[in-house]
């Protein structure tokens, strides 16, 4: 038997995609929704997968400090230095900051926090979502 819980978070961010031929090559913003799904076969001492309050505290803190109201750019993006010069809040990625890559980064950060997330869904818009699953 497996148990799971899901918590949803929201952030506002800006990004642009390099080597892309379309509207997303321009700096633009989104109001994103992030779904974090945690699974386990054994409940904790409180008969929970994880306390929703603790999950919210940890994840929201990281999102607020790193991605919310932030410009997310690839380390190869020439805008990075200009925006730094003007004191803009940046989050730099090793790859293009697509929804897929942002979801992957969030999942990796959750693991560092010892949160056993199995799935992260990153909704860039109400109709466009990327999902990353742990094997």
Which residues are tagged catalytic? Answer: 24, 69, 124
Distance of alpha carbon 87 from alpha carbon 82, whole angstroms? 9
φ and ψ of 96, to 5 deg: -60, 135
**In this structure, what token pair is assigned to residue 111?**
């693991």
Closest CA to 109 of 49, 65, 46: 65
Q: What is the DSSP secondary structure assignment for residue 115, as one 8-state letter? A: -
User: Can you say whether residue 5 is alpha, beta or left, with left for phi > 0 and alpha for psi between -120 and 50 degrees?
Assistant: beta
d(CA 111, CA 105): 10
- Residue 93's Cβ-side half-sphere holds a number of Cα atoms within 13 Å equal to 23
């Amino acid at each position: 038997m497996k148990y799971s819980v899901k918590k949803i978070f929201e952030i506002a961010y800006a990004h642009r995609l390099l080597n892309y031929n379309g509207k997303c090559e321009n700096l633009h913003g989104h109001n994103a929704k992030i779904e974090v799904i945690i699974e386990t076969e054994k409940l904790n001492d409180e008969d929970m997968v994880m306390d929703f309050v603790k999950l919210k505290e940890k994840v929201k803190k990281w999102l607020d400090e790193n991605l919310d109201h932030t410009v997310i750019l690839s380390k190869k993006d020439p805008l990075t230095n200009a925006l730094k010069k003007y004191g803009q809040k940046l989050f730099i990625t090793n790859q293009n900051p697509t929804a897929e890559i942002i979801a992957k980064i969030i999942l990796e950060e959750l693991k560092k926090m010892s949160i056993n997330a199995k799935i992260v869904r990153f909704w860039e818009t109400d109709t466009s979502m990327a999902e990353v699953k742990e094997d």
